[in-house]
Each structure stands twice: as C-alpha cells, then as structure tokens.
Amino acid sequence: MFKPKVLLIDDEAKIHDFISISLAAEGFDYIGSFTAMAGLELFNQEKPNLIILDLGLPDLDGRAVLKKIREMSHIPVLVLTARDQEAEKVRLLDAGANDYLSKPFGIRELISRIKVLLRDIKYDVMPAELRFDSLVIKTEEPLVYQDKAIVHLTKKEHQLLVKLASQPHVLVNQKKLLIDIWGASHADDSHYLRVLVTQLRKKLGDDAEEPHFIKTEPGLGYRFIGN
C-alpha cells in the first residue's frame, strides 16, 4: 500500500516528536530535518510528497527555503509560523506556500490540512523501462541497451538519462538537475552537468550539434528528444 512521504523541516525536537508520532498513526511516512540545508538534501534524496516547513530555521530563513523548493518543484508546502500578521501570511502564499498554520497549533488541524493538500495529487509510477526505437533504458537498475548492446554508464550518467528520458521533449531545468544529482550545495556548479552530458552523449553516440537524444537549451537546461 502506498504511503505518502511527509518531510518536516523544523529545528524544535518536540515538534518532531509529536508530529512524527501523529503522521505514523495516520499512515504517513515521516522524514525529518532540523536545518534548512539538511532539509533540502532530504527533499532531493527522498522525494517526499509534502513538506511541512518552519520559517524560523537556524541556518537559512524559511522563506528562502520555500523559494529554492519552488524553483524545482510544485510539491505542496505547509508553512509553520509564529508570525501572526496578516501581511506575512499573504507574502507566504504569494511566495508559493500552499497553506500555513500559526504556532501553537492542534495536531488534528495539522493532519486535516495535510490530507486536504494531498487529496488531489496523482502519484505517477515510473515504468521499469523506457523505450525509444533502438534505445532501451532500465529505470530500476543501471542498465541501458542500444541496438541490443549494453551501454556501460556510471551511476550519475544513468541517473541523468532517466531524469531526461522520463519526460520526453520537456525542458528539464539545469539547476534542478544539479540539485537532484549532486545535492543542493552544487546548485551553481554548472560545469559538473556539462561534463556529465558530454560523457553521456559520447557513450550514446549523440552529436551536440545535431542531437538524436539530448538537446541543449542554452542557459536553461536539457531536453530529451528521442522518439
């Protein structure tokens, strides 16, 4: 049975204690972080279905975390704040928060808000393999075949290929790829991605000038164009 993952980013241990127990009782998987940067790393690694975000974090303001999340994803974000001003709440919603709760709050209200935010989400299951003419990409293991011959890829090359090929003809943001593959601390290391794309193209026999598989959108990201 599918269990939605909920990531809690909050620096208060007591908040983690009672929210984690309540989430488990309601059938959710709890993931927790006490700092913003660790939370962003978990967001990329664990792929949660919803984030509970406290604004008063020790290493980075919660609004900055919300901005980073919104650059990568439309995941539902429920903000926890001790700030009760109307203008602050409006700013949070305008910045991309889906809902908010002011501290202190009741656990029943929190669970109710979570269920509402998750209610209309459709969870897409990645197929076991992706096929594009002579190219076959296994998604659950690092195996790729081209013209029935194995293409030997590194873990990161395979990860990049799956991320692009799972969304054919869709532009995938450069920063999102960097964070997904190397983590939030490498969000601006665009040369990492350029080198990885070059290596992957070479192994697939792809030409950057006249690509069959990976098209570069200068300054934006990459697009998988295989048929």
pLDDT at 90 over 80: no
User: Above pLDDT 70, what percent of the chain?
Assistant: 94
Q: What is the mean pLDDT of residues 54-62?
A: 89
Q: What is the pLDDT of residue 206?
A: 93
Q: What is the pLDDT of residue 136?
A: 95
CATH class of 5-119: alpha beta
Spans of all domains in the chain? 5-119, 129-224
215-223 long-range contacts, Cβ below 8 Å, gap at least 24? Answer: 217/171, 219/174, 220/171, 220/173, 220/174, 221/171, 221/172, 221/173, 221/174, 221/176, 221/177, 222/164, 222/171, 222/172, 222/174, 222/177, 222/197, 223/164, 223/169, 223/170, 223/171, 223/172
N-terminal to C-terminal alpha carbon distance within the chain? 34
Average pLDDT value over all residues in the chain: 88
Helix axes 174-182, 36-46, angle to 10 degrees: 90
pLDDT tens, position by position, 155-198: 899 999 999 998 888 888 888 899 888 887 788 889 999 999 99
Q: Could you give the CA distance from residue 205 to residue 126 in angstroms, rounded to a whole number?
A: 26
User: How many CB atoms are located within 10 Å of the residue 42 CB?
Assistant: 20
CATH placement of domain 129-224? 1.10.10.10
Sign of CA dihedral 12, 18, 21, 22: negative
Q: What is the pLDDT of residue 119?
A: 77
